[in-house]
Chain A
Amino acid sequence: MSNAKPRIKVPKTASKDEVITIKTLISHEMESGQRKDKDGNTIPRKIINRFTCTFNGQEVFSCDLDPAIAANPYFEFSAKVPESGTFTFEWVDDDGSVYSDKAEIEVS
Chain B
Amino acid sequence: MKLTRRQALAISAGAALAVVAGRAGSAHAAVDDTEKAIQDFTGGKSPETGRIRLTAPEIAENGNTVPISVDVESPMTAEDYVASVLILADGNPNPDVATLHFTPMSGSATATTRMRLAKTQNVIAVAKMSDGSVFMDKKEVKVTIGGCGG
Contact = CB atoms under 8 A, between A and B. Distances in A.
Given A34-B93, A35-B150, A36-B150, A69 B113 contact: yes
A78 interface: yes
A80 B110 CA distance: 12
B64 A70 contact: yes
Contacts, number: 101
A18 to B, nearest CB: 8
A77 B111 contact: yes
A34 B89 contact: no
Contacts of B111: 61, 63, 75-77
Contact of A73 (B100, B108, B113, B117): B113
Interface in A58-107: 58-71, 73-80
Interface residues of A, number: 29
Contact of B113 (A20, A34, A67, A74): A74
Nearest to B104: A80
A67 B106 contact: no
A55 B105 contact: yes
A61 B65 CA distance: 22
Contacts of B104: 80
Contact of A34 (B64, B110, B112, B149): B149
28 contacts: A19-B107, A19-B108, A20-B107, A34-B148, A59-B103, A59-B105, A60-B106, A63-B111, A64-B99, A64-B101, A66-B97, A66-B98, A68-B97, A68-B115, A68-B116, A69-B113, A69-B116, A70-B65, A70-B66, A70-B113, A70-B114, A70-B116, A70-B147, A73-B114, A75-B111, A77-B106, A77-B111, A80-B107
Top 5 A-B residue pairs of the complex, sorted by shortest distance between their CB atoms: A80-B107, A19-B107, A35-B149, A76-B112, A66-B96
Interface of B: 64-66, 69, 76, 89, 92-94, 96-108, 110-117, 147-150
